[in-house]
Amino acid sequence: MALLQITEPGLSTAPHEHRLAAGIDLGTTNSLVATVRSGSATVLPDRDGVQLLPSVVRYLPDGAHLVGAEASARAVSDPLNTISSVKRFMGRGVEDIERLGSSLPYAFVAGASGMPLIHTAAGDRSPVQVSADILSVLRQRVEATLGGELTGVVITVPAYFDDAQRQATKDAGRLAGLKVLRLLNEPTAAAVAYGLDHSAGGTVVIYDLGGGTFDVSILRLNQGVFEVLATAGNTALGGDDMDRLIAGWIMQQAGVSDAVGHSLQRRLLQAARRIKETLTETGTGAVPVSLELEDGRTWEGELDRPQMNELIDPLIRKTLAPCRRTLRDAGIAVDEVDEVVMVGGSTRVPRVRELVTEFFSRELLVDIDPDKVVAIGAAIQADILAGNKPEDEMLLLDVIPLSLGIETMGGLSEKIIPRNTTIPVARAQEFTTFKDGQTAMALHVLQGERELVDDCRSLARFELRGIPPMTAGAARIRVTFQVDADGLLGVTAEEQTSGIRAHIEVRPSYGLTDNEIETMLRDSMEHSREDMDARRLREVQVEADRVLEALQAAVQEDGDRFLDAQERAAIDQAAQALSTASGGEDHRAIKKAIEAVEAASAAYVEHRMNANIQKAMAGHSVDEFKR
């Protein structure tokens, strides 16, 4: 008798063909892996039934390493070789990391590419390698549980991760032996986990406060389509900072100076985290604190919830500024928000929920464990991308956090893709040559909101060579910016007549710090008027240079033929006045000087034009041009 295969709705009609896919939340404090089984997403535990994997790696002298709770247990006794919160270092340079704070116990050195390396007993390790070691453990966990090799994974990243940080995350996945199907913004993953993709529509705020990062995103949901209207955040703000505030309070109460050893630092942070978690879960009474100090003394004290709230209030309120900015960027009012989803373990803290509820004036969605919600959403998306749900038409539309553009003459930044543009996206713009016979063009890719190159961040430089020699302005160079679904940028330049082209995948060695991101956005608003004035001045200065160069080339070629001494003197005088004005700061004066040069050379230009027309028509009849 033939057997009839029966499957659940939405699952593969041939269960043996079900592709194994997983969603990974690579967190600052803890990491998780989830997969879809029997139609629902579940977080997978290790052999001991523990689902959360501490994002901690300890390196040993023999080259081996430990990952997770076993590594975390040795953080106090071996702080230099036990790496935690590595997500904060992803896509950053050594100078960026040094600005994170002097309390970091690790020894950083710059690698050949500019990527920071952490000196350990097992050798120097980059943040990408440390993250890959964490991802490898999660890969082994899911393959052991499902009994097969993974088709691919979706790894989540903070919405505010820039290009360098996203690329570093993707590289870590590849280094761990994973096929990365997609990098998915954590807020979007949370919306998927709550099933908001199947709702009729609405505006949703995703407030994501994890161990080391914070971001807030505003999503518009409509018939299964996710569109991120705006996003903002801080890549160095989270529950770890609450721990540091509480640890600082303990040090102050115990009379301990800031210059403490690494071992005491670790014990302080562990004590602070224990206090925070206890007060979050119970909230009644005071939590006793006992700490053995470096001088052999033991300090004892206690902390209650009102005291903790007073300590962490400034940090929580710091998260509300990006919330205001995203509402403004999205063009919506607080009362237009339909849902607020809480994501990240730090949103368990009651004071966080109180202040966020007060800000948005509505109940919060906290039904799903905030530690697991991102991994669950990533697993659902991975299942779709792996091809297990071909009928599912869920579409994710994320945005880029900062404008992308290119340098033009005069040190100006020409924006090609504005910030908050939905991705994936491709935008193109045509440019031309500045000088006669120019056969190459240097292209400088920029990121930022300001008008001048010096105020933006440099992403990459490359050259387009082999441009056919032409008069200035005749060449047509089309520059295309393409941002893929993972938020990674590629730039192509092509000369239209000859077809020669150059391409670069933008992979900067380090990313923007949280302060740089905040500063770039704030400065773009605070300096908008002076930026526009500076741009106007640079543009007219470039126009002056072009006029002077073209005039000089023309006069050298046939000035003696068409100009008498009086006309030549008038043109030279106007050109000298323009050259002088061009070095000043008054764009109106430069524009008037350009007009004066054009007026002085009008007769000369007319003579040249007529001569060129006669030359072109020589040997032809008028009737030929009529046909």
Asked whether the bond before 424 is cis by omega within 30 degrees of 0, the reply is yes
Amino acid identity at 277: E
Instruction: State in Å, rounded, how far the first CA of the chain is from the last one.
Output: 83
| CA atoms of 85 and 101, how far apart (whole Å) | 13
For residue 586, the 8-state DSSP code is -
**Catalytic: which of 208, 455, 494, 495?**
208
**Catalytic: which of 87, 276, 372, 415?**
87
Closest-CA residue to 479 (of 430, 424, 530):
430
Strand pairing partners for 405? 415, 446
Per-residue b or e along 284-293, where b marks 16 or more CB atoms closer than 10 Å to that residue's CB: eeebebebeb
List the structure tokens of 163: 């290009």
Q: What 3-state DSSP class applies to 68? A: coil
- Residue 186: active-site member: yes
**Torsion angle, CA of 115/150/227/368, rounded to 10 degrees?**
-100
DSSP-assigned letters across all residues of 347-385: GGSHHHHHHHHHHHTS--B--S-TTTHHHHHHHHHHHHH
C-beta of residue 482 within 8 angstroms of C-beta of residue 489:
yes
| CA atoms of 130 and 89, how far apart (whole Å) | 10
* Ramachandran bin of 448, using left for φ above 0, alpha for ψ from -120 to 50, beta for the remaining angles: left
Sequence-ordered list of residues with C-beta below 8 angstroms from that of 512, at least 6 positions apart, any chain: 162, 164, 402, 447, 457, 520
SS3 content of the chain, % helix, strand, coil (to 5): 40, 25, 35
Strands (E), 164-319: 180-185, 202-209, 214-222, 225-234, 286-292, 298-304
Closest-CA residue to 442 (of 410, 471, 407):
407
Closest-CA residue to 360 (of 320, 316, 315):
320
Amino acid identity at 129: Q
C-beta of residue 459 within 8 angstroms of C-beta of residue 510:
no
Q: Number of H helices and number of E strands within the chain?
A: 17, 28
- Residue 383: active-site member: no
280-285, long-range: CB < 8 A, 24+ apart: 280/348, 280/349, 280/350, 283/350
- Residue 208: active-site member: yes
| CA atoms of 540 and 587, how far apart (whole Å) | 6
Classify burial at 74, counting beta carbons within 10 Å of its beta carbon; exposed 0-12, middle 13-18, buried 19 or more. middle
**Catalytic: which of 133, 162, 171, 186?**
186
Taking the mean position of all CA atoms in its chain, how far away is CA 487?
Answer: 8
DSSP-assigned letters across all residues of 420-438: T-EESEEEEEEE--SSTT-
For residue 527, the 8-state DSSP code is T
- Residue 143: active-site member: no
Strand pairing partners for 277? none
List the structure tokens of 101: 């704070």
Catalytic residues: 25, 87, 186, 208
